[in-house]
Amino acid sequence: MANKVIAVVLAGGKGTRLEFLTKKIAKPAVSFAAKYRIIDFPLSNCTNSQIPVVGVCTQYESTLLDSYIGNGEKWGYNGIHSLMSTLAPRQTQEGANWYRGTADAITQNIDWIDSQHPDVVLILSGDHIYKTTYDEMIELHRKSEAECTISVMEIDIKEASRFGVLQVNENDEIIGFQEKPREPKSNLVSMGVYVFNWKTLKKFLKDDEKDEKSVHDFGKNIIPNMLLKKRKMKVYRYKKYWKDVGTIKSLHEANMDLLNDHDSLGLFSSENGMIYTEDTHSVPHYIGRRAKITRSLVNQGAIILGNIDNCVVSDEVIVEQGAEVSRCVIMSGSTIQAGVKIKNAIIAPNTNIGDKREINLEGDDVVLVNH
């Protein structure tokens, strides 16, 4: 049990900015890249990092997500030498509560984490798109003897107000933190990936639980409190692809990024392992004689008879002859009828678009179509 690392994935958010896509399913269960779900990425990263135990905190519309995760077999977890567990809010002798915030989700599962005997806990978001292993970050954390390490990226400072913003000294030790500030002091933002010494985190979680004014959030409470107490905190500078797909626009952008020739995500490379998912067991995709396909992803079970350009097409999709679709994400089970012309859209699962409908958005404008 010495030097054991476990991971906890926070996957209980509503994802309301994804509109209809998250009306009945949790955000981490939303489709991405034609054949995956968003949560496949952090869970596959754990597999590729050989992390033996993973807990997934679920809450909002958790039925489909719980069923999808199952026992973790898709990601190589078998319950013998490795373990994946879903951790939903539960009734105890002390009562029953929903997770009140990201930190509270961990607090309510302290007993489960203790039962795994970790010295280090990796906290991850279940709704970010990136492909990596956490080995280098964990090694930095251990060698620096930090009590908390936060994975960060440098971004355009104009966008920084949407994130937690960090200030660091010449040794990359954290000396300041702002949660979604109006006027950011730097362009170094948190990715929501944390490595904590478990004993330290457990203490701060229990103190936070007693604070009636707390909203029980890592960014608003735990991180600032650790800074206030002068705990040693480091940043890990991440320089590969990462995307928070919390809006229709960002989800569309992330899908379109896959169509670039340089494969910035690394989805088509075996470096850092593979991204694992559920096989839909569909028939092979079919491309008709008069179809025209340009720079697109087409998953199994799709039937393409019309023209698609820069599209991400999920399983069981039908694009009829005479339809023209450009820069679209077409989710599972949808049909685009003859005469339809669509540009710059996400088409929700099981949507049937007919009546020679035309949607022609230019620039960065994107629309969600669900009927």
* Domain covering 5-257 in this structure, CATH number: 3.90.550.10
pLDDT digits (tens, 9 = 90+) for 210-239: 999 999 999 999 999 999 999 999 999 999
Q: What percent of the chain has pLDDT over 90?
A: 85
Q: Given a cut of 90, is residue 17 above it in pLDDT? A: no
Q: How far apart are CA 197 and CA 195, in angstroms?
A: 7
Query: CA torsion angle for 233, 150, 270, 283 (degrees, to 10)?
Result: 150
pLDDT at residue 1 tops 60: no
DSSP states of 55-93 as a string?
Answer: EEE--TTHHHHHHHHTTSGGGT--SSSSEEEEE---EET
Side by side, the strands of the sheet bearing 335-336 are 286-287, 303-304, 318-319, 335-336, 352-353
- Residue 75, pLDDT > 60, answer yes
Residue-level pLDDT at 92? 66
Is residue 193 over pLDDT 50? yes
| pTM: predicted TM-score of the whole model, two decimal places | 0.94
CATH topology of domain 286-369: UDP N-Acetylglucosamine Acyltransferase; domain 1 (2.160.10)
pLDDT digits (tens, 9 = 90+) for 96-115: 678 899 999 999 999 999 99
Asked whether residue 297 carries a pLDDT value surpassing 90, the answer given is yes
The pLDDT value recorded for residue 86 is: 93
Domain spans in the chain, listed from the N-terminal domain onward: 5-257, 286-369
Q: What is the pLDDT of residue 62?
A: 87
The reply to whether domains 5-257 and 286-369 share a CATH topology is no
Residue 282 has pLDDT above 60, yes or no: yes
Give 16's pLDDT tier (boundaries 50, 70, 90): confident
* Distance separating alpha carbons of residues 96 and 181, to the nearest angstrom: 33
Q: Cα 240 to chain center, whole Å?
A: 15
Q: Report pLDDT for 310.
A: 97
Mean pLDDT of 288-313: 97
Tell me which H or E stretch contains 112: helix 110-115
**Span 9-13, average pLDDT:** 91
Residue 69 has pLDDT above 50, yes or no: yes
Would you say residue 179 has pLDDT above 70?
Answer: yes
